[in-house]
Amino acid sequence: MDTQNPGVLRRMWNVLRKPSAKYSVMAIGLIAFTLGILFWGGFHTGLEMTNTLGFCTTCHEMRDNVYQEYKETIHYSNRTGVRAICSDCHVPREWGPKMIRKAKAAFEVWGKITGAIDTKEKFEAKRMELAGHEWERMKANNSQECRNCHSFEAMSAELQKQTPYKKHMAAKEEGKTCIDCHKGIAHHLPKEYVDPDE
């Protein structure tokens, strides 16, 4: 660009002083696009922060009850070093179902505010109800959160003990889902729970 020519500078100054409608629309579009990216990035970052183990265990209701039970399970500590955290089991990965689950979780804050389960005794009194809600949710979505890591097709007849392998293959044939057989896999079962197979 020839900045020595006063005509070029004058034209540039005129464009800046009186931008055309074409450039105004482009500038507004660029600003809106940039703000949209910044909003989405902030929203997504904040949302993902609520999926961390640290976030899930900030309230004592979770830290003192189910977190302590979870630490005793294979999902917390195992030979391979792969750890499933709260959100791996309780929050869908897909965006739509994740937003629905997060909205429901926002309503669960009411329980925190009102102290519905703020003592061990209150928690135990509601354990069956709370577990039932999770079991229903998992049954309804075919235990999708389990299937994000576990798959009938990936189970090896050579590496898995024969009794569980046969049960898994029978469950696959019968169209069962993980939660049908694996209630209490990461948390203690409620005292009121009765195993239908016993």
DSSP string, the chain: --TTSHHHHHHHHHHHHS--HHHHHHHHHHHHHHHHHHHHHHHHHHHHHTTSHHHHTSSHHIIIIIHHHHTTSTTTS-TT-----HHHHHS-SSHHHHHHHHHHHHHHHHHHHHTTT-SHHHHHHHHHHHHHHHHHHHHHTTTHHHHTT--GGG--TTTS-HHHHHHHHHHHHHT--HHHH-TTSSSPPPTT---TT-
Mean pLDDT over 12-17 rounds to 68
What is residue 30's predicted lDDT score, i.e. its pLDDT?
A: 87
38/81 same-domain check: no
16/99 same-domain check: no
Give 150's contacts (C-beta < 8 A, 6+ positions apart). 178
**Quick check: 20 pLDDT over 70?**
no
65/6 same-domain check: no
**Quick check: 49 pLDDT over 90?**
yes
108/183 same-domain check: yes
pLDDT category at 72 given cuts 50, 70, 90 is: very high
What is residue 125's predicted lDDT score, i.e. its pLDDT?
A: 95
10/72 same-domain check: no
Mean pLDDT over 142-167 rounds to 93
Give this prediction's pTM. Answer: 0.76
Domain of residue 68, residue span: 60-198
In a domain, 54, yes or no: no
What is residue 61's predicted lDDT score, i.e. its pLDDT?
A: 87
In a domain, 25, yes or no: yes
129/37 same-domain check: no
45/81 same-domain check: no
19/76 same-domain check: no
Q: What is the mean pLDDT of the chain?
A: 89
13/78 same-domain check: no
pLDDT category at 176 given cuts 50, 70, 90 is: very high
What is residue 183's predicted lDDT score, i.e. its pLDDT?
A: 93
25/71 same-domain check: no
27/103 same-domain check: no
What is residue 137's predicted lDDT score, i.e. its pLDDT?
A: 93
In a domain, 55, yes or no: no
In a domain, 96, yes or no: yes
42/69 same-domain check: no
Mean pLDDT over 59-88 rounds to 92
What is residue 5's predicted lDDT score, i.e. its pLDDT?
A: 65
| Structural domain count, the chain | 2
| Digit-coded pLDDT (tens) for 104-149 | 888 888 888 898 889 999 999 999 999 999 999 999 999 999 999 9
In a domain, 171, yes or no: yes
In a domain, 14, yes or no: yes
What is residue 162's predicted lDDT score, i.e. its pLDDT?
A: 95
In a domain, 192, yes or no: yes
pLDDT category at 195 given cuts 50, 70, 90 is: confident
